[in-house]
């Protein structure tokens, strides 16, 4: 650190002497003055010039003495990219670090913006964010430690529900949730953010290798649509753990998918479907068409 300081000091003095030199040159000489004043000017310039040279050399030697600063960001296993032998790929890691810094900055700004905008009461969703809360210690939520994800998922424990965690895509998690004897859902996470949900019937197969096939039953296709709505609703990059937990609680309310009548019309079946929508806050069942009236 000291070395860095002295280098910076040397750069400063170099800059000031360059400036002095140019100032003197700009002032020039008096035209009517005699020869000796001209030589004096020349000598002064030479002195300045030598000064500059000396300082420049000093700066250069100081810079050579500096160690390359250690990267402050450790991006997991991507650091191995820096050891890449192919020359055209060597720069990748520094670029990655740069973009990572950018993202972090964006996060900072958006967090501030979020807090500011939150003071405005005209909110459409009921996301609650306390003003009193200090900024939470915050790591990027889409680059999570796998152990943390495991721990988080093991904490979620709802009745009649089983969770099966698998990692078909490297470190990212696919959670197969079986709710009662009603449905199965595959939740694809990136870190701890939910990226995709597939819902199928209890008697259908849900293969982690084929998560994009739709259920053969209309009711589960509808439920899947609703899970996507909820996925966006519960999305909260600032509190990812809470988001996952509330999402799971919401999803669990489907354990009574066929058992509950719609809260508005009081019927079980409408258009051949049970109440497929669950209110995001109260978890009350509604038919899709009853939900908005």
**In terms of CB distance, is 35 or 203 closer to another protein?**
203
In the stretch 228-267, what mask flags binding to another protein with x, by CB under 8 A? -----------------------------xxx-x-----x
Among all chains, which residue has been given the structure tokens 């990655």? 96
203 counts as binding another protein under rule CB under 8 A = yes
Residues in region 129-188 near another protein by CB under 8 A: 180-182
Which tokens hold the place of 55?
């300082």
What CA–CA distance (Å, rounded) separates 286 from 290? 6
Residue 114 binds to another protein (criterion: CB under 8 A):
no
With CA atoms as reference, report the closest residue to 280 among 291, 290, 289: 291
Residue that is written with structure tokens 């000093």 in the block: 58
Residue 214 touches another protein, criterion: CB under 8 A: no
Asked if 202 touches another protein (CB under 8 A), the answer is: yes
CB of 180 to another protein, least distance (A): 8
Nearest to 191 by CA among 167, 210, 211, 215: 167
When asked if residue 112 is in the footprint of another protein (CB under 8 A), the reply is no
Distance in angstroms (rounded) separating the CA atoms of residues 75 and 154: 26
* Among positions 84, 108, 218, 279, the unique one binding another protein when judged by CB under 8 A: 218
The stretches of the chain forming alpha helices (DSSP H) are: 2-27, 35-65, 92-118, 146-155, 218-233, 240-252
Closest approach of Cβ 285 to another protein, in Å? 12
Which residue matches tokens 């909260």? 236
Q: Does 273 bind another protein (CB under 8 A)?
A: yes
Q: Which of 11, 21, 96, 219 binds another protein (CB under 8 A)?
A: 219
């Amino acid at each position: 650190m000291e070395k860095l300081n002295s280098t910076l000091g040397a750069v400063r003095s170099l800059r000031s002497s360059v400036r002095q030199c140019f100032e003197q040159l700009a002032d020039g000489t008096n035209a009517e003055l005699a020869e000796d004043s001209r030589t004096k000017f020349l000598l002064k310039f030479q002195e300045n010039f030598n000064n500059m040279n000396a300082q420049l050399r000093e700066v250069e030697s100081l810079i050579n003495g500096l160690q390359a600063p250690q990267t402050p960001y450790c991006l997991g296993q991507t650091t191995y990219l820096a050891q890449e032998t192919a020359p055209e790929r060597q720069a990748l890691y520094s670029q990655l670090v740069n973009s990572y810094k950018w993202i972090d900055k964006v996060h900072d700004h958006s967090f501030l913006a979020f807090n500011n905008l939150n003071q405005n009461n005209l909110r459409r969703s009921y996301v609650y964010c306390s003003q009193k809360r200090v900024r939470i210690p915050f790591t990027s939520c889409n680059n999570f430690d796998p152990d943390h994800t495991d721990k988080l998922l093991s904490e979620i424990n709802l009745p009649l529900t089983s969770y099966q965690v698998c990692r078909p895509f490297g470190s990212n998690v696919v959670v197969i949730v079986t709710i009662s004897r009603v449905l199965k859902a595959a939740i694809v996470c990136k870190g701890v953010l939910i990226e995709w949900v597939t819902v199928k019937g209890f008697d259908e197969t849900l293969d982690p290798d084929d998560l994009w096939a739709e259920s053969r039953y209309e009711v589960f296709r509808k439920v899947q649509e609703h899970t996507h709505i909820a996925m966006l609703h519960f999305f909260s990059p600032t509190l990812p753990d809470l988001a996952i937990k509330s999402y799971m609680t919401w999803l669990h309310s489907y354990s009574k998918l066929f058992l509950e009548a719609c809260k508005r019309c009081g019927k079980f079946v409408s258009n051949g479907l049970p109440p497929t929508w669950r209110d995001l806050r109260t978890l009350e069942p509604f038919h899709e068409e009853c939900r908005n009236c």
